[in-house]
Amino acid sequence: MNSLVKSAHEIQLMRESGQLLARVFTELDKIIDLGMSTLEVNDFVERFIVETLNARPASKGQYGYKYVLNSSVNEVICHGVPSPSKRLKNGDIVNIDITLEKNGYIADSSKMYLMGSVSPAARELVDVTYEAMWAGIKAVKHGTTLGDIGFAIQNHAERRGYSVVREYCGHGIGKEMHEEPQVLHFGSANSGMRLQAGMTFTIEPMINQGSHKTKLKKDGWTVVTRDKKLSAQWEHTILVTQNGYEVLTLRPTEMR
């Protein structure tokens, strides 16, 4: 069997990890609020994963990272580091990116939170990014290509006047957080690897208000927009099926 294709047993374990991660966001929805520091968000999530779910925060210790999540506020594209001094304020948009491992298999998802009264421009960016993620997800099916996913995302974002970050992408996932293949959020239709039922990977587009160009800050983690305009991101872990896709990290609020 192709090493990228998971067995039925592995898929079930990934499904269970994904459902647990969805529960994390459901609990986070209840407590995240203005005035909280991003480190307080991190600590709440860590306690819930470890003490309530009896699972492991997969990001902690990965590549030497000390925290259980990324908290990317406003112009931060990804990999924002939790801090006691970074408090969520009125008008902020923040991406919370969390990974969870249970029984040896990892799920990865992120969600945007809009804090207080957010500008119409910021809200539109968040909404279009969510739509772009779903455009990519809906391109998933046995026999389609990775390029179809990237094309769908890029087409949706650019038609609305936004840009797609190039340097960071989705990835295969399973026993390891980052497996093959790389899942670009831009590209050409009918190009790249052909998808097979049983593959699992993340789709996690980062969409900018201005230029797609990025800058890595001196902490070696935090990635920001070079022009300091806003960025948004959403992410789900996806299973390829014969007839389409299954979103392994789907949250109750998204079930249609």
What's the pLDDT tens digit per position in 170-218? Answer: 999 999 999 999 999 999 999 999 999 999 999 999 999 999 999 999 9
Q: What pLDDT score was predicted for residue 129?
A: 98
Q: Does 131 have pLDDT greater than 90?
A: yes
Q: Does 167 have pLDDT greater than 60?
A: yes
Point out the annotated binding site for substrate. 79, 178
Sheet strands side by side (includes 223-225):
76-78, 223-225, 214-216
Neighbours of 31 (CB within 10 A): 12
Q: What's the pLDDT band for 1 if we cut at 50, 70, 90?
A: very low
Question: Tokens in use for 92?
Answer: 């902020």
d(CA 93, CA 169): 21
d(CA 64, CA 147): 32
Dihedral, CA atoms, 174, 247, 42, 81, nearest 10 degrees?
70
Q: Cβ neighbours of residue 245 under 8 Å, at least 6 residues apart?
A: 137, 138, 140, 141, 238, 239
Q: Does 4 have pLDDT greater than 50?
A: yes
Mean pLDDT (the chain) is 97
Point out the annotated binding site. 79, 97, 108, 171, 178, 204, 235
pTM of this structure: 0.96
Point out the annotated binding site for a divalent metal cation. 97, 108, 171, 204, 235
* 216 closest CA partner among 93, 60, 80, 29: 80
Q: What pLDDT score was predicted for residue 255?
A: 80
**Number of helices and strands in the chain (H, E):** 4, 14
